[in-house]
Amino acid sequence: MSSRLSSLFFLIQSTILLGGSLYVWSFVYRDFLNYFGTMDDISLWCLQGGTILSACFAGASMFLLLFVVSLVIYQSKKMGRFAQISQEFLTIVLGVSGLLAWGVTGLHTIGVVAWTNATSCFIEGTHVPTEDPCFYSATLFSLAFFWALFIVLREHAADVS
């Protein structure tokens, strides 16, 4: 596989992860505004699950971390050096993250995660999958996983040749 084409594949991978990161962090930002916008009218009950304890925050953090990892791999490949972090590791973590995101989406769909607390503060989730940010996050994780798997298989095929 040519170095330029290989570099493009890694750049596309980083772009997918950047897009996912920006998408999910926009929802985390919205949640932070909802829960911390005005401290005067927010009860302590509302703070117990809507922000850093949410699946959205965990997904956003994972997207950001994996984006940074993909940039490290991209830079290493672009410079022709050995990457300190392997593409295979990134692919496995993307696969596990995708499975977790689809699990949370499924739980949201059947209404297990959506709940209100004692003061009726809505915490997280929806019953309609296409209205749930986790649905789109899971889709982006899956897209990134399949792209990373494509890169791994292409690299292994190039090594065999």
**40-52 burial code (b ≥16 CB/10 A, e <16):** eebeeebeebbbe
Which long-range contacts does 56-60 make (Cβ < 8 Å, 24+ apart)?
A: 56/24, 56/27, 56/28, 56/31, 56/124, 56/133, 56/134, 56/137, 57/28, 57/31, 59/24, 59/97, 59/101, 59/104, 59/134, 59/137, 59/141, 60/21, 60/24, 60/25, 60/27, 60/28
pLDDT at 161 over 70: no
d(CA 117, CA 107): 18
Domain spans, the chain: 3-160
Query: With left for phi above 0 and alpha for psi between -120 and 50, is residue 111 left, alpha or beta?
Result: left
DSSP structural state of residue 126:
-
Q: What digits encode the pLDDT tens for the residues 46-55?
A: 544 556 667 7
Q: What digits encode the pLDDT tens for the residues 73-131?
A: 988 888 877 766 789 999 999 999 999 999 888 877 776 544 444 445 554 544 566 77
